[in-house]
Structure 1
Amino acid sequence: MRLGLVTLLIVATFNVLSAQSLKSIPGDHVLRPVCEASGTVEKSFIPPPAEFLLKSGEPTAEIIVEFGSGFPEDARNALNYAVGIWASIIESDVPIHINARWSSTLGTNTLASCGPETYYTNFKNIPFENRYYAVAIAEKIAGEELNGVSRSDVEATFSSRINWYYGTDGNTPTDKYDFVSVALHEIAHGLGFTGFFYVDAEAGMGGYAYYEYGDATTFDMLVEKLSGSQLLNTTLFSNPSAELKSALTGSLYANSPVAKSENSGVRPRLYSPSTYNDGSSVYHLNDFTYGTGNENSLMTHAVGMGEAIHDPGPLARGIMEDIGWTNLIVRHTPVKDMEEVGTLHFVANIDSYYDVEEGSVLVVYSTDNFESTRDTLVLTPTANEGEYSATLEPQSNVDIQYYLEAADVKGRLRMSPWDAPQNVHDVHFGPDNEDPVIASEAIPYFLLRGEPLQIKAEVDDNLGLDTVYVTYSINDVDQTPFPLLPESGTTFTGTFNFDLLNLHDGDLVKYNIVARDASSNQNTTIYPAVKSMEFRIERIFDAVTNYETDFNSESSAFIISDFSIYTAENFNNDALHSPHPYPSPNIDNKDLNFSTFLKYPIILQEDGDMSFDEVVLVEPGEFMSVYGDDDFWDYVIVEGSKDYGESWYALTDGYDSGENATWQQNYNAGIPSGEQDSETKGTAEWFVNHQISLLESGHFNVGDTILIRFRLYSDPYANGWGWAIDNLRVQYPLATATVLSPGQVNAYPNPFNTAIQVEIYPDSELQEVRIEVFDVFGRKLQDIIRQNVEALKETIDLRQYSSGLFLLKVSENGKPVLSKKMIKN
């Protein structure tokens, strides 16, 4: 599940259709902020920032927009203009992906809505542990993709019902809304100008939550009352509580040091009306304080006609910096315990966007847990950039508790541990009996391509490590151990000392990691403690133009680590199976991927296709969701790679049990009352043939040589039986059964007034065609079945139903062909 806007009415109505909604998650309160139309003329123009106007250098961030269907060309140009402004302001080495939709379903006065695709905590280099960062910020700080290239970082929806001005000159007519201004505003929300506060008016409570109560974003950390009371301070505001509701509907400010430094020390005032406004309260600047023409007016909650604001303004930019776009990070490896009292060496590496305040890098220490003793020690710069150090000579063998702190010239203060003095580092003196701690992800397989195999492990010890090494065997023959050496912090790496020329496809490698500490006891840990980890040597075979298997004889053609080939319960012969049932991590913001790929590379031919029979019992998404939507939960997908698995691209969109009525009906029927996981087991009777064009995605061309991968994605919650694949044919003549394509189905007009016209013109006669229409609550309004169809013209009369959104589905012989949202005026 990926959290986003949840319509409670739909959740209540579709608890049968969506297993995910059966689990009550506090994050149901997490709404994407919106930008409202004020309905008044507010003619003004704030030009773009100097960084953008000067055009003196390259953008400091790469922002890539994927436009949804129907997005007008003029709107695309305006959005790209706004993207260019943000790309000149923020800095990131990781590309930022925006998914932009054009929709008629937003509220009457809602111009647009936008938010992060997801949030992350406790990632690499995180400044504040246990606090959530918008994915784009988290990726910037971690320096790597976190949610994968197939998922966006920002989800934006713009209303198609607004009288927009798409120009970039700021000369917005007084009867139109400036698209560039709204896009700038919404992108800010998607980049993290938002959080988890909410008010439950019916219960009279305010709170903050994502996966659990108490989860908060770095924006939420800034929010405080006029008095300076931080709303996350649970000694003042229980979560949830009536007191917190009262605070959320009173005067609120953002204690942003960078914004204050741009505002004569004054905190930015936030929008917090006396009646809490979902999507607007807290996560906007106050409209009255920063009115029309004010340089900080972009991030107020409403935009007027004729108003053009092409600069986020110093206050919004300052808040953006303080939620993570610029940072002061204190990196410190805690001082190790000692068996004998000796000199303590404190070293801190300060990573700061702004200059560090002179004399602000300190060790604050105590010998009684800060009950009555507290001393400070100034760390001074060393010859290494950003490094500070100091030494301390303890006067006794009494344990020492300490933390580090540092400040920058903007007034930002950071500590190690991040939440000191609630938590502190501890140095213990005396005999050591603690074993080292080891963590390492299992190696799934080794692809034999002439390159060495590296292994990485996280190894730590309270006193210090003496030796870390790997023992291993090949086909149960012991090999010479090899060392793991420190790379950075607690990370150790090494390389298997294989003789690559003597490795063979299918060889089995078993291995363990051993760590011994530097104490007089030589405390030792073997990981895993009970049995060895293992993986197989896999070789890529020579490329072929076609491949076919029924999985009953050959098994070495596939990577067998996550998937297996066997005859499963309820099946008559061997097939390729994912884990049954496949697991879900049930951990905040974690997901799992299970995959296998064909070891025969395929040389793509003209009109290259593949087909296979499959049963898919994975958690279906919410009603009307499609692949890529926030509420499209688990899925399976077929992908290709032309660089031997370094990067993978979809051959067709991912899909779930909702792809077939039989799969979805049986998946949902297997969910016990009050539970979220489906217990339905697959059966050979539910096999459906799936045909895929290898070229249609546009990622590959004739003559390319690609690997083909089958992948099952599992989100944090809810799971089912999984995926079975049989009778795989790649670039062999496809089955002769007629397959209707979406291009042979025409449904119009859209929007419609009273009826939908459906026309179908197949290449040859179809055995059965089914047309279904659902309303937004999932109720089936029409169910039309036609046999022996050569051509079909069908009028679907919906005049008796109210205006709104409808879903049209067309299937051939039970196989979905078209799923289209239709709007009735």
Structure 2
Amino acid sequence: MSKFSTLLSLLILVALSSSAQMKSYNQNIKVPHPVCYGSGKVERVRIAPPAEFLLKSAGAAKSEIIVDYNGFTPEAQEAFAYAVSIWESIIESDMPIRMQANWEDNLETNVLGSCGPETYYKDFKDAPFKGRYYPVAIAEKIAKREMNGESRYDMIANFNSNVDWYYGTDMNCPDTLYDLVTVVMHEIGHGLGFTGFLFIDSNNEYGAYGNIDFGEATSFDLLVEKGEIGGKQLVDTSFFENVSSELKRALISNDLYANSTIAKNRNEGLKPKLYTPYIFDAGSSIYHLDDATYGHTDENSLMTHAIGMAEAIHDPGPITKGIMDDIGWRNIFIRFDQVKDIEELKTLVFSGWFESDYGIKSGTPKVIFSLDEFESHSDTLELIDAEGDGTYTVTYLPKIGTEKISYYIEVQDTVNRMRTDPALAPTEFYTIHVGPDTKKPVIAHDEIDYFLLLNEEQQLVADINDNLGIDTAYVQYSINGETQEPFALQQDFGDRYIGNFPFDLNSINDGDEITYAIFAVDAANIPNSTRLPADAESYFSFKIEDIFDPVSYYSNDFNSETHDFLLSDFDIYTAPNFNDGALHSQHPYPAPEIDNGELEFTTLLKKPIIIKDNGTMNFTEVVLVEPGELTSVYGNSDFYDYVIVEGSKNNGDNWYPLADGYDSSDQIVWQTNYNSGIPDGEQNSETLGTPDWFVNRSITLTDNDYFVAGDTILIRFRLYSDPFAAGWGWAIDYLEIQRPVSADITLLSPGEISVYPNPFTDNITVKISAVQQESHIQVDVFNAVGQKIYATEGHGVIGEYSDVINLSGYGNGMFLVKVSQDGQTVLTKKLIKN
């Protein structure tokens, strides 16, 4: 069914120009989404939704797919929602799956639609295989956390509004129409992960996958094999070198299969055949079932490569559902703590538990161990659930003279899928060493930024690792320099240790400072200990922050000290080149230098705001953060760094945008100066912010889907940074929220005022390009010793304002121009007369 409109050669990464953004594959380089074409044939068939959908009771959905519809007609949206509800009865996930669906009128005539994962992630918590990419919806399900965040979609789809669609949900699609439910079902399948990275280059020379520098593949790609019997895995470089003619021949062999254990169980033991015609069909090849094997009347035909008119298929079919399970929608998890080193021979205890969506097969949990790192010999210990409580245990007493024991865990589930821990065993394995221990524990900890009193308790988390095991972990701390009783850290799981500061909430106040250090002692016969920070005179520190009483009006020009903001990531000061105080992010702000990394910098207004009807927030700002791609919009993965103002009405548990995020492309003056500061061959902008680039921002607090008049909300400013480029950052000034009617406010911003030329000879021009209402504009000029040498009379101004000032009668030197509106200074600028 699918065909890429154009083939993206992922090898393009190697040939990118020096000025291009260099980012990780899964954050930036996108596999083009499959493009669904209509076959033009009448292929009449009626395949009903799966039994679990037809028999479901209200609220029985196993997942939640949240769709953001753009441009859909009501009847098209109803059909789309019906297809979504079918998938919700099949796919299980505790995490919401966010989807953008666009109803387009500019697609090619025979294009029905397209869909794919918004991005991919690897090496997240509980990822089944190391170094393999998983579509974001699967990654979030397994990790049990938002990885794209609430502001990004998990899949993106486009559908052709000009197609002759059948919008019914009853499968009675006539011979002249395409069934929208069927096409949506198919495309959601791609968005949920029925796709991957395998391709043939645009010159038709070689086959490849992922980025050739690291050759990584998706969880679907792990299943793809050449040959129905004794198949060879395409991503196994012992059979097919990445970027090779051998791999190309395999991709057009008409002999590729999905070695999905669950799909084989549902297909009479046969590996499902994939669509791999002798001429590579980019976007259709590989990531569809073979339509010659599974014709349009077959129960597995939804994910074949072509759809015809009158074809109503409302069930993915047992094979597709089996493949979906094996790419990550149903998993096996192994929860075993690594056995630590020992100083003297003693009985070793291997203990833990297994979890599988299909249940654990009796007799399969094992410990495979070796005394020579699996070079020549291994033995097996069977793990037993002796107590019947799901905990599997076995003991082993090493023989005298043993110096090390290497091992891995192995298990199968009831559908005969095998997993190991480590996942790539026996290539990778754990090793237990025997002998005296002199290694100190290793402590890793992210310093606490602050403690918000409304949270009631502050948890400390540290990763503490030791080859022998931890005997004791604890924290020493002080409040405003006064030493407190230490408190213990308890093992949570693995190397994670946690504990709560035993604060008396009645005795700590806003602004109090907490200093602390973490200690760990191992279980060696002669204990080894570690302190973090390592320097005995150094401590971590954070401040107590309180939330004040709600207000309906707030203003701040940031020219004096204030405790109104939580300033762990931002600060209030007069920055270099600036004339007065402002609220500043870090300058420059950092970017995470790792794949999948992201950083967020926030500052919180500690005074909650009671929203008025159509209440507004106004401030001036300079935004120099990395702009996204030319056509990108907030919410897309190619909308790179951004700033955003957010609100919360449940004390910060959930944050929602007061307006969409934006970047330097929001204003030409920002974008031009950001880009001009990127040196050749580099990716970071070195441009420094200046008050000349301040521009007004006005946000209506109720102009969103989350807040209404009468809500009391916290407000925060957030800067988001992705890999790898970054810039100067964000500055905010003259903040005013829901000003009283009588309060004066400066509507101009420095970015709307031009003073030129500089240097000048006789005349200077002051030009204001965006006066927003009738205003009193004042222009003053001062000489180098502060004497006012020129002043305009008051002007009632509507629209543009321009003033040419003749200073020919004054000598050379420095002059200061000040522009004011309604008595408030907007801009001061130094000029040089030659």
Q: Same fold (TM over 0.5)?
A: yes
Q: Which residue of 2 aligns with 1:256?
A: 260
Match of 2:660 in 1: 653
How many angstroms apart in 1 are the aligned matches of 2:316 and 2:697? 49
Equivalent residue runs for 1:650-729 within 5 Å: 650-729=657-736
Deviates more, 1:672-681 or 1:41-50: 672-681
2:620 counterpart of 1:624 = no
Residues 290-309 of structure 1, C-alpha deviations (whole Å, 9 max, x = no match)? 11111111011221111111
Q: Deviations over 1:52-85 (max 9, x none)?
A: 1112463343324333431211111111101110
Give 1:584 deviation, angstroms: 1.1
> Is the contact between residue 772 and residue 799 of structure 2 (CA under 8 Å) also seen in structure 1?
no
More deviation in 350-359 or 729-738? 729-738
Distance 1:118 1:460, change over 3 A: same
Contact 1:207–1:213, Cα closer than 8 Å, also in 2: no
- Distance 1:123-1:386 versus aligned 2 partners, 3 A rule: farther
- Check the 8 A contact 1:5/1:30 in 2, yes or no: no
Deviation of the 1:449 alpha carbon: 2.2
Match of 2:298 in 1: 294
Task: Give 3-state SS (helix, strand or coil) of 2:621's partner.
Answer: strand
| Superposition pairs of residues 488-499 of structure 1, within 5 angstroms | 488-499=493-504
The structure 1 residue matched to 2:478, chosen from 452, 473, 477, is 473
- 2:505 corresponds to: 500
Secondary structure of the structure 1 residue equivalent to 2:373: coil
Please show how residues 36-115 of structure 1 align to structure 2 within 5 Å.
36-56=37-57, 58-115=59-116
Contact kept? 1:98, 1:154, Cα under 8 Å: yes
Distance 1:720 1:6 in 2: 33
CA 1:384–1:512: 2 relative to 1, 3 Å: farther
Of the candidates 419, 423, 446, which is equivalent to residue 424 of structure 2? 419
Report the Cα distance in structure 2 between the residues aligned to 1:399 and 1:72, rounded to whole angstroms: 67
2: CA distance, partners of 1:47 / 1:631: 38
Select 2:597's aligned residue among 581, 590, 593.
Answer: 590
Alignment of 1:218-233 (within 5 A): 218-226=219-227, 227-233=230-236
Letter in 2 for 1:122: D
Structure 2 segments unaligned to the other structure (5+ residues):
750-770, 776-796, 801-834
What amino acid sits opposite 1:313 in the alignment? G
- 8 Å Cα contact 2:18-2:682 kept in structure 1: no
Q: Which amino acid aligns with 1:140?
A: K
1:246 aligns with 2:221: no
Counterpart mapping for 1:739-758 below 5 A:
none
Partner of 1:513: 518
- What do the CA deviations read for 1:462-484 (whole angstroms, capped 9, x no partner)? 11110011122222333221110
In structure 2, relative to structure 1, the CA distance for the partners of 1:788 and 1:200 (3 Å cut) is farther
Asked if 2 retains the 8 angstrom alpha-carbon contact of 1:19 and 1:620, the reply is no
Which one is further off, 684-693 or 148-157?
Answer: 148-157
Asked which structure has the greater CA Rg, the reply is 2
SS at match of 1:679: coil
Report the equivalent of 2:469.
464
Which one-letter code corresponds to 2:393 in the other structure? S
Q: Distance in 2 between matches of 1:195 and 1:170?
A: 30
Q: Could you tell me which residue of structure 1 aligns to residue 170 of structure 2?
A: 169
1:29 to 1:101, Cα distance in 2 relative to 1, 3 A: closer
TM-score by length of 1: 0.86
Amino acid across the alignment from 1:228: G
Deviation at 1:577, TM superposition (A): 0.7
Q: Which residue of 2 aligns with 1:565?
A: 572
1:361 pairs with one of 365, 370, 374: 365
Residue by residue over 1:637-696, the C-alpha shift from the partner in whole angstroms, topping out at 9 and shown as x without a partner, is 001111111111110011111110111111111111222211111100000010110111
1:28 is paired with a residue whose SS is: coil
Deviations 1:447-472, CA, capped at 9 Å, x for gaps = 11261211122222111110011122
CA contact (8 A) 2:747 2:772 kept: no
Whether 1:236 aligns to 2:239 is yes
Whole-angstrom CA distance in 2 between matches of 1:524 and 1:423: 30
Bigger shift: residues 469-478 or 344-353: 469-478
Deviation at 1:539, TM superposition (A): 0.8
The answer to which of 418-427 and 586-595 deviates more is 586-595
Structure 2: distance between partners of 1:527 and 1:360: 43
Q: Which residue of 2 aligns with 1:153?
A: 154
AA matched with 1:602:
I
Alignment match, 2:820: none
Q: Distance in 1 between matches of 2:724 and 2:8?
A: 19
In the TM superposition, residue 548 of structure 1 has moved relative to its aligned partner by 0.6
Are residues 516 and 35 of structure 1, via their aligned partners in 2, closer, same or farther at CA, if it must alter by over 3 Å?
A: same
Q: 1:736 to 1:720 in 2, by over 3 A?
A: closer
Does the 8 Å contact 1:137/1:192 carry over to 2?
yes
Between the aligned partners of 2:431 and 2:41, the Cα distance in structure 1 is 60
**Pair 655,408 (structure 1): closer, same or farther in 2 beyond 3 Å:** same
CA contact (8 A) 1:614 1:688 kept: yes
Aligned residue for 1:48, secondary structure, equals coil
Matched, 1:347 2:351: yes
1:610 and 2:617 matched: yes
Secondary structure of 1:422's match?
coil
Task: Give the counterpart letter for 2:433 in structure 1.
Answer: H
Q: Give the TM-score taking structure 2 as reference length.
A: 0.85
In structure 2, do the counterparts of structure 1 residues 107 and 345 end up closer, same or farther at CA, with 3 Å as the change threshold?
A: farther
Using a 3 Å threshold, how does the CA distance of structure 1 residues 215 and 619 change in structure 2: closer, same or farther? Answer: same
CA 1:223–1:702: 2 relative to 1, 3 Å: same
Q: 1:431 to 1:106 in 2, by over 3 A?
A: farther
The alignment partner of 1:307 has SS state of: strand
Deviation of 1:599 after TM superposition, in Å, equals 0.6
**One-letter amino acid of the counterpart of residue 649, structure 2:** K
> Percent identity of the aligned residues?
53
Q: Is the 8 A contact 2:479 2:514 kept in 1?
A: yes
1:181 paired with 2:185, answer: no
What's the CA shift string for 1:735-769, capped at 9, x where partnerless?
57599xxxxxxxxxxxxxxxxxxxxxx99899xxx
**CA distance in 1 between partners of 2:104 and 2:656 (Å):** 27
Q: Which moved more, 1:490-499 or 1:143-152?
A: 143-152
Q: Distance in 1 between matches of 2:478 and 2:626?
A: 40
**1:384 offset after TM fit, Å?**
4.8
Q: Is the 8 A contact 1:112 1:159 kept in 2?
A: yes
Change (3 A) 1:175 1:119: same
1:426-445 to structure 2, matched below 5 A, reads: 426-445=431-450
| CA shift digits 1:159-198 (9 cap, x unpaired) | 2232211111111122211111111111111111122222
**Contact kept in structure 2, 1:18 and 1:622, CA below 8 Å:** no
Pair 512,390 (structure 1): closer, same or farther in 2 beyond 3 Å: same
Q: What is the CA–CA distance in structure 1 between the aligned matches of 2:510 and 2:663, rounded to whole Å?
A: 33
Looking at structure 2, the residues matched to 24 and 561 of structure 1 have their Cα atoms a distance apart, in angstroms, of 29
Q: Deviations over 1:582-623 (max 9, x none)?
A: 111121112111110111111111221110000011111111
Q: Report how far residue 157 of structure 1 moved.
A: 1.6
Match of 1:400 among 405, 414, 432: 405
After superposition, give the CA deviation of every residue in 1:510-530 in whole Å (9 maximum; x if it has no partner). Answer: 222211110123111222324
Question: Hey, what does 1:326 align to over in structure 2?
Answer: 330
**Tell me, what secondary structure is at the counterpart of 2:670?**
helix
Q: Secondary structure at the match of 2:199?
A: strand
Q: Measure how far apart 1:383 and its partner are.
A: 2.1
Computed over aligned residues only, the root mean square deviation of the Cα atoms, in angstroms, reads: 2.7
Deviation at 1:29, TM superposition (A): 5.9
What one-letter code is carried by the residue in structure 2 that aligns with 1:65?
I
Q: Which amino acid aligns with 1:428?
A: H
1:106-160 per-position Cα deviation (integer Å, ceiling 9, x unaligned):
4443221112222222222222232222222122222222222222222222122
- SS at 1:180 equivalent: helix
Contact 2:22 2:724 in 1 (8 A): no
**Residue in 2 that maps onto 1:383:** 387
| Offset of residue 493 of structure 1 | 1.0
Q: CA deviation at 1:398?
A: 2.9
